[in-house]
Amino acid sequence: MEKVVERFLRYAKIDTQSDDDSKSSPSTEKQFNLAKLLVEELKEIGVSNVELDEYCNVWAELPSNTNKEIPIIGFLAHMDTATDFTGTNVKPQIVKNYDGKDIVLNKEKEIVLKTNDFPDILKYIGQDIITTDGTTLLGADDKAGVAEIMTAVEYLVNNPQIKHGNIKIAFTPDEEVGRGTDNFDIKKFGADFAYTVDGSKKGELEYETFNAAEAKITIKGNNIHPGSSKNKMINSMRIAFELNNMLPTDQKPEYTEGYEGFFHLLNISGDVENTTMKYIIRDHDKTKFENKKALIEKVIEFLNKKYLPNTVNLELKDQYYNMKSKIEPVFHIVETAKQAMEELDIEPIIHPIRGGTDGAMLSYKGIPTPNLFTGGHNFHGKFEYIPIPSMIDSVKVILKIIELYSSK
């Protein structure tokens, strides 16, 4: 089990950040660096049908070692890291026997993980915790998931007395930019159902996601010398401010939780003449989701009437949908994961994902895929950390799920 830590530390140091602005697949060539390493390790472990395709999907298979008819189970994790914060030159560090105090991540830059800001860390007093050095994200989302699946698979290979059905393994690129399954061959994968190992703290088990859309907005202004601009200048940045203020204040991510959806302004850049904005729109409820999209369209229609036609242009694209409706007909896959955790004395935390996973897209493509925890916290930023015992527990849950289906 200790190999899960060795693997994660090795994977975390490889820069695999994806790029939302790239049109290629994968969005960044550097994701192949981790993919190629995983292919080598899978072959060394001794699994079958190991393959790396042109789109940076890694495939592998652990054949059944029993004549018993058992469902084909898949396990997936994504190799890329988030675009929100740099993933270059990651330097993981291990805090041994955490004492419950604030953790100085970087003394020189005075970057401190404070318990007042992140009180969940106090649950892990006495444990070894992997953190960043304060200058990058850590990449537990989702290299921890990769390491946990790899470790579980190796454990099964080295312990052939544990009976199991056919196990499918896949590692994907570009999940963080919403394109993780764009070139994913469902037939090649061939699982009856699957689990992504892409959740957060220990015990998380998720089968509901947001419905998700992306709104890219361009605003055209008219730049005139400010000394003679009366009734002539159109300041595209001010229109951007106006647009943002017309969206509901209480429907921003910093004010929402649970099943509450939001409009999230990801980035904005511009000058008087041209401004671009990017939003993501999220809601678990399909009707509310459609209403949110309709609202942003109405806001832009209003602004084009107030100013000039085509002053504000919108490119609105759905990204994924709530996978709940696809998982409920085969709810045993959630119940079995819950049973696995309970048998390991892990309290299941079943709640909606306030984000997305490859599982949402896979569920709509025909492979129902709920999400299991990795053990990590504070994803996508410099205060990311993961307790080592939680990683080991994730490996145990994967193995227990396989065992439960083999014993039915």
**Domain 212-320 - what CATH class?**
alpha beta
What is the C-alpha to C-alpha distance for residues 268 and 237, in angstroms, rounded to an integer? 9
Question: Which two tokens mark 85?
Answer: 């914060």
Which CATH architecture best describes the domain 3-209+322-407? 3-Layer(aba) Sandwich (3.40)
Q: For residue range 236-284, list pLDDT tens digits in order.
A: 999 999 999 999 999 999 999 999 999 999 999 999 999 999 999 999 9
Closest CA to 386 of 144, 147, 197: 144
Percent of the chain exceeding pLDDT 90 equals: 95
15, 41, 61, 80: the active-site residue: 80
Question: Which two tokens mark 348?
Answer: 């299941």
Closest CA to 194 of 393, 59, 339, 358: 358
Beta carbons within 10 angstroms of residue 286's beta carbon: 12
Closest CA to 92 of 9, 33, 14: 9
Beta carbons within 10 angstroms of residue 258's beta carbon: 8
Helix (H) or strand (E) holding 130: strand 129-131
What are the boundaries of each domain within the chain? 3-209+322-407, 212-320
Beta carbons within 10 angstroms of residue 299's beta carbon: 19
What is the C-alpha to C-alpha distance for residues 252 and 282, in angstroms, rounded to an integer? 10
Asked if the peptide bond before residue 26 counts as cis, ω within 30 degrees of 0, the response is: yes
Helix (H) or strand (E) holding 286: helix 286-306
Q: Any catalytic annotation for residue 80? A: yes
- Tell me, yes or no, if the pTM score tops 0.85: yes
Note down pLDDT in tens along the chain; length 408 residues: 789 999 999 999 999 999 988 999 999 999 999 999 999 999 999 999 999 999 999 999 999 999 999 999 999 999 999 998 999 999 999 999 999 999 999 999 999 999 999 999 999 999 999 999 999 999 999 999 999 999 999 999 999 999 999 999 999 999 999 889 999 999 999 999 999 999 999 999 999 999 999 999 999 999 999 999 999 999 999 999 999 999 999 999 999 999 999 999 999 999 999 999 999 999 999 999 999 999 999 999 999 999 999 999 999 999 889 999 999 999 999 999 999 999 999 999 999 988 878 999 999 999 999 999 999 999 999 999 999 999 999 999 999 999 999 998
Contact by Cβ (8 Å): 141, 132: no
Q: For residue 284, which phi and psi values (nearest 5 degrees)?
A: -70, -35
Q: In what order do the strands lie in the sheet with 129-131?
A: 93-95, 129-131, 385-387
Q: For residue 162, which phi and psi values (nearest 5 degrees)?
A: -80, 115
Q: Any catalytic annotation for residue 117? A: no
15, 41, 175, 206: the active-site residue: 175
At residue 8, the 3 state secondary structure works out as: helix
Within its chain, how far is the Cα of 204 from the centroid?
A: 14
CATH topology identical between 3-209+322-407 and 212-320 = no
Contact by Cβ (8 Å): 96, 128: yes
Question: Which two tokens mark 8?
Answer: 């994660």
